[in-house]
Amino acid sequence: MRQRGKGASLKSNSSSSASGETGNQENNGGRGSDVLKDKNVVLIATRSTYVVFTLFVLVIYGGWGVYHYQFESLPAPLALEQVGKRGFSEHEAMKHVEALTRLGPHPVGSEALESALKYVSEAAEIIQKTAHWEVNVEVDLFHVKSGANNMVGGLFKGKTLVYSDLNHVILRITPKYASEAGERAILVSSHIDTVFAGEGAGDCSSCVAVMLELARGVSQWAHGFKNAVIFLFNTGEEEGLNGAHSFITQHPWSDTVRVAVDLEAMGIGGKSSIFQAGPHPWAIENFASVAKYPSAQIVAQDIFSSGAIKSATDFQIYKELGGLSGLDFAYVDNTAVYHTKNDKLKLLNSGSLQHLGENMLAFLLHAAASPNLPESKAVESDLESDQEKAIYFDIMGTYMITFRQRFASMLYNSIILQSLLLWATSLLMGGYSAAISLALSCLSLVLMWIFSISFSTAVAFILPIISSSPVPYVSNPWLVLCLFGAPALLGAFIGQHFGYIILKSYLARTFIERRRDLPANLHTSLAKLDAERWLYKSGLVQWLILLMLGNYYKIGSSYLALAWLASPAFAYGFLEATLSPTRLPKPLKTATLLIGLSVPFILSSGMVIRLSATIIGTTVRFVRNPGATPEWLGNAIVAIFVAAVVCLTLVYLLSYIHISGAKVPLIIATSFLFVISLLAVWGGVVPPFTEDIARAVNVVHVVDATGINGGNPEPVSYISMFSTASGDLIKEADHIGEGFVCGRDRYLDFVTFSVNYSCWTDKKAETGWLKSDVPAINVVEDTRGENRETQIVIDTGVSTRWSLGINTGEIEDFQLKDADSEELIPLGEKSSIDGWHTIQFSGGRKAPTKFHLSLFWSRNGTQTTSARDERLLRLRTDVVDRVTQPVEKILRKLPPWCSLFGKSTSPYTMAFLSSLPVSL
């Protein structure tokens, strides 16, 4: 046995023993303790700086590599000659996208939408003529006179969405000689209409194009089907899912649907991924078995269903109203262009349509030939059916895993019980010292989270001060890594290091008390090694807690907690662990980290990067009520998300740094990245928005007639500009000129939302509209008494898109009819938000503009005197296909980094405001 003399340094990287003496002690069953009594032995616990930084490089490049392979590797687009009659050709689908985008924006009520409908119907008729001779292809041009959606969940709470004069194209494919197939159908749905601000290459001309090409291919296969396939090309989706609602409630084919598939876009291009499935697992399980390029993450479903994303798709109608199960797909690349001018053809990635088309064609051919479509149309809600919910995720876009919640619960419970048993056994054998060590290692976790969130969130308050835009990273998402990731990592390390110091001090004292036979100069080094191990194991505790919570609440993405717990725990148990309290600690092996993190990084790194990009992109429309949200809030959400990712995924890696020489270089490197990125933002080197990634704004010619009832004889007219992205508009107003004044002096109530901060100008605002365009609210009868009833006629003039707020503090119930006395909204209980129920109406060019509203007053008003709103009705009407001359001039001067933004609650470029007071 060899010994080193006094002052000798036994340095080791993580794959070797900390000292020859420690290793010999273990190899000789503890006899090495005689050697360690030699006072000349010196043990230095250290790890190579190069090893630590190599691990960081592997994490960064490995995570990016997984993301690229999982989400950016698209199949080559194929031509019709390559796929034949029965295959899917992106080249053919792109012809449809090009034709639809050439029409420009085509919202409900526009002439362009009529042209788009004509194009789709003609393409459907060509499919009908060229179908296989044993296949029936029916094309139905479905006209909806009127309807009302009074769903109360999610975005529908406090609203009734009324629609009129909508047109859809419906194509049904069935085998000629299997008449029973028409009684069971798979629905594939998307929408033709776009918002007024963009041509809709992604949302959702790409979906319509995929459906037309799918229908062409399916029409050549359907002679062997056992079920029908229905393709629904609807309109009105952008105004509140009205197309899907009208089909489910009014079309006779809706009763035959057993499975619904919705195609959507929250961006443009990339891989179209499944972000909602169920409630019955049949569809997702069958998709997983046949998809060529599977892309599906239940994490997205958990986030979407939580309400964190304020949006809805047609799938909600099919699931909640139709009682159907199925799949919901969406493109989410470049989500910052969603509903803006940049949803354009040139940003649609090559291979995007091929990816979705091949996956969908394989699924439809399999599903349409299956005799086992789900029969039940009831939405599952009891405990038994909840246990049958599918958990699903893809592995690098190549393989797809699905299993039921029942199996997941058994697996999670097993892992949780085993983990608790191991921890209990370890603590019992380790005694009081082990329990204190565990508590102090958990303290390091708490400090890590506190410091990481604090450092990262501090940046959220700095950015609005030094930058022209509070969100300067939208067009360059990599900035988030430097602006928030660097301080989050630095904070996590510093917080954990404080915990490490406290833990090391405690362990050094325990070694002195417990192992008095060891040389005094070994106590500190051994404490460092033991503290490192406890920090690693604290990461296991963190993920064990998350797995327990996820299992309790039946969260589908709990499989990630399982991976981050089981894989590192297995690596530790296989290479490191012992329950014997007498063995002296060694440095953690590098192999332990590499083996332990390989599986969870493959499963989650790509998804985390994609989710980060989506969150960053949504900041351009983060502010739902312009001016009502603090400028730092959006940044704070991004900062907390980044800090959480750092603390959750790097907790094991950070534990390797504390005994290495990488501490100072890590602090310097993260500080350098942060300072450089901050200087780039402060100096304007990196623009927050570009022509392709634009800031979402709205320019509206407002004619405000709300003051007429207060004695003002004439409406007030002005041009208003506001933004759904954080930050003021002074730079944009200066760029435009035209006398814009910015501030909070002109509050705007658009019924569906409010504007607290805006820019406005009165320059030539009196032109472009007539008094006859102003909507009229006339009281024709007011019967007072115990049961007060008021009859009102509303004339929306030239508008077929309007929003009406009804004061439910004064009105108990109401009924709405059109001019022909057709009931649109019946009497019955109405939900409300903040004392108001809102009617959102949208219709085609032939939709009615005169309505009868019956108001039934509450016997005892629910509003207190101090909170009483003096308005009984609030009305906003929008004019489609009209841009006044002053607005047109402003739009021409609008900076290239800005784009109009459209959504169902936003006004068009011309809006009229009116109201009716409570004191009629």
Q: What is the pLDDT of residues 877-894, one digit of tens each?
A: 999 999 999 999 999 999
Lowest mean pLDDT among 5-19, 192-206, 239-253, 563-577: 5-19
The 10 Å Cβ neighbour count of residue 221 is: 20
What pLDDT digit, counting tens, does each position of 402-455 carry? Answer: 999 999 999 999 999 999 999 999 899 888 999 999 999 999 999 999 999 999
Mean pLDDT of 520-530: 84
d(CA 521, CA 580): 23
* DSSP code of residue 307: T
* DSSP code of residue 178: -
The 10 Å Cβ neighbour count of residue 244 is: 30
Q: What are phi and psi of 51, to 5 degrees?
A: -65, -45
Report the candidate in 877, 735, 861, 857 with the shortest Cα–Cα distance to residue 803: 877
Residue 761 · residue 741 · CB < 8 Å: yes
- Give residue for tokens 């490490």: 500
pLDDT (0 to 100) of residue 714: 87
744, 749, 750, 753 alpha-carbon torsion, rounded to 10°: 80
Residue 864 pLDDT > 50: no
Non-local (6+) Cβ contacts of 381 within 8 A are none
d(CA 622, CA 592): 42
The strand pair at 257-265 and 228-234 is best described as unpaired
Residue 43 pLDDT > 90: no
Question: If pLDDT is split at 50, 70 and 90, which confidence band does 785 have?
Answer: confident
Considering only residues 308 and 852, tell me which one the structure prediction assigns the higher pLDDT. Answer: 852
Considering only residues 864 and 773, tell me which one the structure prediction assigns the higher pLDDT. Answer: 773
- Give residue for tokens 């599986």: 599
pLDDT (0 to 100) of residue 148: 96
Helix/strand/coil for 697: strand
Tokens of 663: 């501490």
Mean pLDDT of 157-185: 94
Residue 169 pLDDT > 50: yes
What pLDDT digit, counting tens, does each position of 69-79 carry? Answer: 999 999 999 99
d(CA 233, CA 534): 58
Residue 728 pLDDT > 70: yes
Question: If pLDDT is split at 50, 70 and 90, which confidence band does 710 have?
Answer: low
The strand pair at 801-807 and 399-404 is best described as unpaired
Containing H/E element for 401?
Answer: strand 399-404
Q: Angle, to 10 degrees, between the axis of helix 352-368 and the axis of helix 90-101?
A: 110
Question: If pLDDT is split at 50, 70 and 90, which confidence band does 31 have?
Answer: very low
d(CA 693, CA 61): 26
pLDDT (0 to 100) of residue 205: 97
Helix/strand/coil for 454: helix
What pLDDT digit, counting tens, does each position of 565-603 carry? Answer: 999 999 999 998 765 656 778 889 999 999 999 999 999
Q: Please calculate the CA angle 337-338-344 and round it to the nearest 5 degrees.
A: 60
Tokens of 104: 């420009």
Question: If pLDDT is split at 50, 70 and 90, which confidence band does 219 have?
Answer: very high
Question: If pLDDT is split at 50, 70 and 90, which confidence band does 863 have?
Answer: low
Half-sphere exposure of 324 (CA within 13 A, CB side): 30
Residue 639 pLDDT > 80: yes
Residue 754 · residue 625 · CB < 8 Å: yes
What pLDDT digit, counting tens, does each position of 492-501 carry? Answer: 999 999 999 9
Alpha carbon distances (Å) from 196 to 98, 167, 312? 18, 18, 18
pLDDT (0 to 100) of residue 860: 73
pLDDT (0 to 100) of residue 192: 98
d(CA 392, CA 396): 13
Mean pLDDT of 672-678: 96
First-to-last C-alpha distance (Å) of the chain: 103
What number of residues does the chain have?
920
Mean pLDDT of 622-649: 96
Residue type, 82: Q
Q: What average pLDDT is seen over the chain? A: 91
b/e map of 62-82 (b: 16 or more CB within 10 Å)? ebeebbeebbbebbebbeeee
Report the candidate in 184, 204, 187 with the shortest Cα–Cα distance to residue 326: 187
pLDDT (0 to 100) of residue 519: 72
d(CA 32, CA 26): 7
Question: If pLDDT is split at 50, 70 and 90, which confidence band does 23 have?
Answer: very low
Alpha carbon distances (Å) from 820 to 162, 329, 389? 16, 40, 47
Mean pLDDT of 277-297: 96
pLDDT (0 to 100) of residue 15: 36
Residue 498 · residue 444 · CB < 8 Å: yes
**Omega within 30 of 0 (cis) for the link into 665:** no
Report the candidate in 142, 212, 146, 132 with the shortest Cα–Cα distance to residue 170: 142
Question: If pLDDT is split at 50, 70 and 90, which confidence band does 95 have?
Answer: very high
Considering only residues 269 and 381, tell me which one the structure prediction assigns the higher pLDDT. Answer: 269
Q: Which contacts (CB < 8 Å, 24+ apart) does range 129-135 have?
A: 130/216, 130/219, 131/173, 131/219, 131/220, 131/222, 132/219, 132/220, 132/221, 132/222, 132/223, 134/175, 134/176, 134/177, 134/222, 134/223, 135/173, 135/174, 135/175, 135/176, 135/219, 135/220, 135/222, 135/223
Tokens of 396: 């690098």
Question: If pLDDT is split at 50, 70 and 90, which confidence band does 12 have?
Answer: very low
Provide the β-strand partners of residue 749: 754
pLDDT (0 to 100) of residue 735: 96
* DSSP code of residue 694: P
pLDDT (0 to 100) of residue 73: 95
Tokens of 839: 């009617």
Mean pLDDT of 867-882: 90
DSSP 187-232: EEEEE----TT---IIIIIHHHHHHHHHHHHHTTTGGG-SSEEEEE
Q: Angle, to 10 degrees, between the axis of helix 49-67 and the axis of helix 663-682?
A: 50
Class of residue 662 by CB neighbours under 10 A (exposed 0-12, middle 13-18, buried 19+): buried
The 10 Å Cβ neighbour count of residue 233 is: 28
d(CA 269, CA 255): 33
Mean pLDDT of 463-482: 94
Containing H/E element for 448?
Answer: helix 405-466
Q: What are phi and psi of 786, to 5 degrees?
A: -65, -40
pLDDT (0 to 100) of residue 7: 33
Tokens of 424: 């209990």
pLDDT (0 to 100) of residue 709: 67
* CA 382 to chain CA mean position, Å: 27
Lowest mean pLDDT among 350-359, 508-517, 861-870: 861-870
Residue 21 pLDDT > 90: no
Residue 473 · residue 484 · CB < 8 Å: no
Residue 287 · residue 329 · CB < 8 Å: no
What pLDDT digit, counting tens, does each position of 366-382 carry? Answer: 999 999 999 756 544 44
